[in-house]
Amino acid sequence: MPANSTHHDYDANLATWLRARDVIAGEDAVKLGGIKYLPRLDSQSENEYLGYKSRACFFNATSRTADGFLGLLFRRDPEVKLPDRHAGVGGALRVFTDDVDLMGTSLFTFCKGVVGEVLALGRCGTLIDWQADGESRAYVVRYAAEDILNWQTQRINGRNVVTMIALREQIECPDVLDPFVLKITETVRVLKLEQLADGSTRYVVEIWSNNSADKKSGWTLTETRVPLRLGKPLPLIPFVFHGPRNALPNVDKMPLADIICVNLDHYRLDADYKHGLHFTALPTAWVAGFDKKDDLHIGSSTAWVSDTVGAVAGFLEFKGHGLSTFENAQSRDERLMAVLGSRMLEDTKRVGETADAIELRQAGENSILMTLALSVSDSISQVLRWVYWWNSTEQYPEDISESLVLLQINTDFTAKGLTSLELTAIVSAWQAGAISQATMFDLFRKGEVLPTGRTDAEEKNLVQAGQPKNQNGQQNPTGVFPKAGTTPAATTSPAATTN
């Protein structure tokens, strides 16, 4: 089998992925697809079909929905837990978060890219590699679903692990004859996990190239290397799959698949509706009893005169409910797209609606986003554990716990902050010693009382600076809130000394 052989799940989903790419790209990409998305009418010539297609309008509800979901997921910055930046591993991770791919991409931007891919196609992957030359640091490369050609899993040492992944890559280099022309060469990077005689495993990378005209049988192995960490081969393939429900290699259903189908149906209905308008919307003049050689003009300054007795003239106008059927069908599709996930496409209700009612109405959409946010948070946390592992001494990346590195994408999609009663309850719980001061600040941050990025220490300093002085000219202890009916100097709290 050639190096670019594909998995059967890849073959089954490729057409769906390409369709999703075109729909999200917009009208130009959809119309470029021609009869794939807009079938030709019976006995329609090429010129007639071009007019039929050009009159249609593609209402890109899918892209609007994806952008809306992405905005909800990143309404707040992801919460990232990393070791102290002054430690060896912590310092390496801080350098990585500022530039994850050696091209200046921050961790936040990388997260948005991964979530965008998972929203659009339901799948992408990340390869974690080590830059040995120059900076000597870990970095990542993201692969789209269409570029993850093949994969295999096998049970080794009592657990299922990925033993092979084939990744398509396109390398751009200047042409030898013309340096202003970029020549694109397609290669396949094969990541393999070999089992050795002693039962251990090692990670091997193979690069396959194809420079011949035969794209199936012309693949040759051009490079083989065994990446090392601390002088030893890697025991696993450093690749992480990202999906809307889990981080497994299996292909999952796209979150926007149903909206895409309805969106294309809406496009076809609009083409038929505009086609009907083109031929029926404008009145057409007709005459009877006039000389065929007469040059008749329409306008207020002209008159039609005929010597024929009984000559008549009039206008043909469309009457009936034929076109309204298309309008009703389009409105139905728009409602379906709204129900399937794009509430932002619905018409604004004319009656008052409480915040709780809106939140309940959007519970279905929020549950989909919640599942996706948790899944991608887990997979990106795996990427961070791999980067931590490259710079540490643990035997396996799984040995690195969530207490060391963790990333959590926002799961609060409502704009409703903490109420005054909730604020009072949180402060009372802290004063009673039921929660720590750090927990209180964290709840304030999630409730959008504290701005994102302000640390607990900075908040305590601001609280101390704003406290009034007592009779001795001293301020309250940092972070102590006086109870009602007491003076600041006499106020004590069992939580005042908590972290």
Model confidence pLDDT, tens digit, residues 153-204: 999 888 899 999 999 998 888 888 888 888 888 899 999 999 888 888 999 9
Q: Same domain for 455 and 339?
A: no
Domain co-membership, 467 together with 347: no
Is residue 206 included in any domain, yes or no? no
Give the pLDDT of residue 68: 86
Where does a domain end: 416, 448, 466? 416
**pLDDT at site 494:** 42
Same domain, yes or no: 411 and 298: no
**Same-domain pairing of 262 and 363:** yes
Say if residue 396's pLDDT is above 70: yes
Domain assignment present for 180: no
What range defines the domain where residue 87 resides? 7-143+243-281+318-416
Phi, psi (deg, nearest 5) at residue 79: -85, 125
> Within this chain, do residues 375 and 473 fall inside the same structural domain, yes or no?
no
Would 160 be classed as within a structural domain? no
190 is a domain residue: no
Residue 212 has pLDDT above 80, yes or no: no
Residue 459 and residue 343 in one domain: no
Section 415-443 average pLDDT: 80
Res. 152: pLDDT tops 70:
yes
Quick check: is 207 in a domain?
A: no
Q: pTM for the full model? A: 0.77
Whether residue 291 sits in one domain with residue 253: no
Last residue of a domain, which of 387, 416, 445? 416
Residue 17: what pLDDT?
A: 96
Read off the pLDDT of residues 456-498 as tens digits, 9 standing for 90 and up: 787 788 877 766 665 565 655 544 555 444 444 444 444 444 4
pLDDT at 248 over 90: yes
> Per-residue pLDDT averaged across 411-439, rounded?
80
pLDDT at 287: 85
In whole angstroms, how far apart are CA 224 and each of 131, 204, 205, 360, 368? 17, 7, 6, 56, 42
pLDDT, mean of residues 77-100: 87
**Are both 296 and 437 inside the same structural domain?**
no
| Of the candidate ranges 25-34, 92-101, 219-228, 430-439, the one whose mean pLDDT is the lowest | 430-439
Q: What is the pLDDT of residue 333?
A: 66
User: Averaged over 424-433, what is the pLDDT?
Assistant: 84
| Averaged pLDDT for residues 339-346 | 52
Last residue of a domain, one of 293, 317, 341: 317
212 or 82: whose pLDDT is higher? Answer: 82
Given pLDDT bands bounded at 50, 70 and 90, which one contains residue 374?
very high
Clarify whether residues 40 and 107 are in a common domain: yes
Q: Are residues 445 and 389 in the same domain?
A: no
Give residue 98's pLDDT.
93
Structurally, how many domains does the chain consist of? 3
Q: Which residues of 388-411 are buried (b: 16+ CB within 10 A; e: fewer)?
A: bbbbbeeeebeebeeebbbbbbbb
Residue 323 in any domain: the answer is: yes
The larger pLDDT score, comparing residue 252 to residue 335, is at 252
**Is 53 a residue whose pLDDT tops 80?**
yes
Least confident of 281-285, 330-334, 441-445, 471-475: 471-475
Answer yes or no: do 446 and 476 share one domain.
yes
Is 157 among the domain residues? no
Determine, yes or no, domain membership for 235. Answer: no
* 71/22 same-domain check: yes
